[in-house]
Amino acid sequence: MKIEYLGTGAAEGVPAIFCNCAYCKGLRARLAAGERTKELRTRMQVLIDGELSVDFPPDAYAHMTARGVDFSAIRYLLVTHSHMDHFYAHDFILRGYKYAQDMAADTLTIYGNREVCDVFRECTRREMKDSVKANVHTMPVGAFEEIAFDDWRVYSMPAQHSSKDPLLYLIERNGKRYLHLCDTGRIPDDSMEFLKALKKRADVVSCDCTFLWEEAAPDARHMGLKEAARTAERLRRAGVMDDGTKFVITHFSHNSRPSQEAVERAEREYGFIAAYDGMTLEI
């Protein structure tokens, strides 16, 4: 299983799009001067084996150009929730007609809660041509469901976030498993019990770490390092993690000042892997 972290930033990106804090101003200046740095973070997207994407942000086009990935090969899209930084549905009006030729996959199926399906319809109803509609399908998903397609198996469970019915996903293919825990605050107890009952060890866990080193999380919708560490311990007790599991922190906000020094310190002190745009794991 190949896991590509195409974007690792929170909603506003890093540097944040309208921000003039010292960190964002300094990073913008460094980028404008041509510096290549892992501190540049676009909005969250994970691509697995080139054909399954978790979320589809406004920065998807930038991900395609930066990484050279073929988005026409994506057959399945798992959407965690309807916030625009995780689901930018307008782009799908371009998946066909004269906008897209010789696509690698004829159709794309989007899995998400009912609000995700509603957002898709609202964002595409004015401009999506009938010929394109035939190429993109939506499939509503609720919590505590098992979804199977081709050789993929996906398990959904509730997140703790502000949108309606946000979801977390355990993704399995050919005996390899990836657990996606973003956007969320503390993992709900019923979600943890669901994972425990599945008795499936994850090879890789991606965990929300929006607040990084902030001492107290400003709200309950996201995590910092302390809650991420508690999450890792809960997953161990539930049998979802062991010493061979890679625990990855991601979804960083500019408010946490996620400098290279700050994320490297987190890796040293907690033993986690700090994701960056373009990072790839093979399991």
Q: The domain spanning residue 90 has which CATH number?
A: 3.60.15.10
What average pLDDT is seen over the chain?
Answer: 97
CA 120 remoteness from chain centre:
18
Here the contacts of 211-216 (C-beta below 8 Å, separation 24 or greater) are 211/253, 211/255, 211/256, 212/249, 212/252, 212/253, 212/256, 212/257, 212/258, 212/262, 212/263, 212/266, 213/256, 213/262, 213/265, 213/266, 214/255, 214/256
Mean pLDDT, to the nearest integer, of 244-260? 97
| The predicted structure's pLDDT at residue 174 | 97
| The predicted structure's pLDDT at residue 216 | 64
Q: Is the pLDDT of residue 218 over 70?
A: no
The structure tokens listed for 143 are 């919590």
Q: Is the pLDDT of residue 217 over 80?
A: no
Alpha-carbon torsion angle 191, 200, 108, 48, nearest 10: 110
pLDDT class of 228 with cuts at 50, 70, 90: very high
For the beta carbon of residue 62, count every other beta carbon within 10 angstroms.
17
Range of the domain at 99: 2-282
Q: Is the pLDDT of residue 5 over 80?
A: yes
The structure tokens listed for 51 are 């054909």
Q: Is the pLDDT of residue 283 over 90?
A: yes
Q: How many domains does the chain have?
A: 1
d(CA 128, CA 189): 40
| The predicted structure's pLDDT at residue 55 | 99
pLDDT tens track for 89-133? 999 999 999 999 999 999 999 999 999 999 999 999 999 999 999
pLDDT tens track for 144-198? 999 999 999 999 999 999 768 999 999 999 999 999 999 999 999 999 999 999 9
Q: What burial class does residue 283 get, using C-beta atoms within 10 Å of its C-beta: 0-12 exposed, 13-18 middle, 19+ buried?
A: middle
The percent of residues in the chain predicted with pLDDT above 70, rounded, is 98
| The predicted structure's pLDDT at residue 269 | 97
Distances from the Cα of 155 to the Cα of 32, 222, 252, angstroms: 42, 21, 25
